[in-house]
Amino acid sequence: MALADDISIRRTGKTGRITLTRPKALNALTYEMCLAIEKAVDDWVEAGDVNLILIDGEGEKAFCAGGDIADLYASGRSEDYAFGRRFWSDEYRLNAKLANLAIPYVALMDGITMGGGVGISAHGSDRIVTERSMIAMPECGIGLIPDVGGSLILAGAPGHLGEYLALTGYRMGPGDAVLSGFADVQMDSADMPALVLQLEETADLAALAGFAGPAEAPALAPHLDAINHHFGKETALSCLQSLEADGSEWAQKTATLIRRACPLSVACAFEIVRRVRENPSIENALKEEYRFTYRSMSDGEFVEGVRAQIIDKDRNPQWRTAPLEKVTEEQIAAMLAPLNENELDLAGGN
């Protein structure tokens, strides 16, 4: 399929417009789409001819359900690790650029927004959700870790909510997305065309004020004390053990979510959130994430996770290291160790 079928990039007045146009694939993000977004942003910034960038997705189901990982899986299965490493490096460079943009970047996170979709929306200056929004970082379920700079948002969430979201892959509604820092405001999906029209005509953020409404009550708010209690421990395993010792229905369901995920990913995701909280910058977050994703096929469980959850859909991954009790400190340290000459380089370009 040609790139033109996947994404629409144009300028309307002083507004740069990006629309993901793969609704049947839930607007999943391909490598080529990442590079096209980066080029458009670079060109607009260099030319200085837009005052605002607005990104949305076609269809009512999803803004962007994540990265299109079919090519990643195929390359990893054939032990070609260079493709994935290049993909993640280029994708993370885009994420950093969006986080550091000097002009407003408005993201309409309507519908499903997960993984790579978070990376091209939640680092923007103005993140908008609707009653249809569902936001999640479910990467631990496929042998990865919350990446695309998501660890920075997780680290900044109230209390230890970030650890909870990273380890469980919990699917947030609009209220939870605002509570956790993945979004700023909620609006009615029916009003989106009118908002888009105003932003295209004016390139003025003042238009947002007329559409923002009250956010839904966050479903996680009643559990924040429990989240802080259980996820404030020193390791992912101690958090899980704390949950399993709690007889409440919520704690047992939460523990079950963690047990379903890749143990190595769970342990490393927890450690990354803690590290990024100590040094909260987009550059540090992406560096820590890249150390894991660089090794995720060669030394991790990514290929098996994708096989079980997405390719064969048997939902029965055969993790090499399981359960979580068997993941050692040495394994965690090895997955997150510096890459030396292969460290993430955010200065490159396409």
Which residues lie closer than 8 Å to 241 by C-beta, 6 or more apart? none
Q: Which of 47, 58, 54 is nearest to 199 (CA)?
A: 54
The catalytic residue among 76, 116, 117, 143 is: 116
Q: What are the pLDDT digits (tens) for 287-312? A: 999 999 999 999 999 999 999 999 99
* Percent of the chain whose pLDDT exceeds 90: 94
131: number of Cβ within 10 Å: 15
Structural domain boundaries in the chain: 3-342
pTM: 0.96
| Distance, CA of 274 to CA of 24 (rounded, Å) | 37
348 catalytic, yes or no?
Answer: no
Per annotation, catalytic residue among 38, 68, 110, 147:
147
Q: What is the pLDDT of residue 67?
A: 87
In the chain, the DSSP E strands lie at: 7-12, 15-20, 52-57, 62-64, 105-109, 112-114, 126-130, 134-136, 185-187
For 160-218, how does the pLDDT look when each residue is reduced to its tens digit (9 = 90+)? 999 999 999 999 999 999 999 999 999 999 999 999 999 999 999 999 999 999 889 99
Report percent pLDDT > 70 for the chain. 99
Write out the DSSP string of 241-302: HHHHT--SHHHHHHHHHHHHS-HHHHHHHHHHHHHHHHS--HHHHHHHHHHHHHHTTTTSSH
Chain CA centroid to CA 288, Å: 14
Any idea of the CA torsion for 168, 169, 174, 175, to the nearest 10 degrees? 20
User: What gap in Å lies between CA 237 and CA 132, rounded to an integer?
Assistant: 34
Length reported for the chain: 350
Q: Distance between CA 173 and CA 91 in Å, rounded?
A: 26
φ/ψ of residue 52, rounded to 5: -160, 145
- Give the pLDDT confidence of 43-102 residue by residue, as tens digits: 999 999 999 999 999 999 999 999 888 888 999 999 999 999 999 999 999 999 999 999
Is 139 annotated in the active site? yes
Superfamily of 3-342 according to CATH: 2-enoyl-CoA Hydratase; Chain A, domain 1 (3.90.226.10)
Q: In this model, does residue 1 exceed pLDDT 70? A: no
- Give pLDDT, residue 349: 60
What are 218-268's pLDDT values in tens digits? 999 999 999 999 999 999 999 999 999 999 999 999 999 999 999 999 999
Q: Which of 67, 76, 169, 181 is catalytic?
A: 67
Catalytic residue from among 6, 110, 126, 139: 139
Cα of first residue to Cα of last residue in the chain, in angstroms, is 21
pLDDT reading at 2 higher than 70 = no
Judge contact between 22 and 60, C-beta under 8 A: no
Q: Is 110 a catalytic residue?
A: no
Mean pLDDT value across the chain = 96
**Can you give the pLDDT at residue 208?**
94
- Active-site residue flag, 111: no
Do 287 and 338 form a contact (C-beta atoms < 8 A)? no
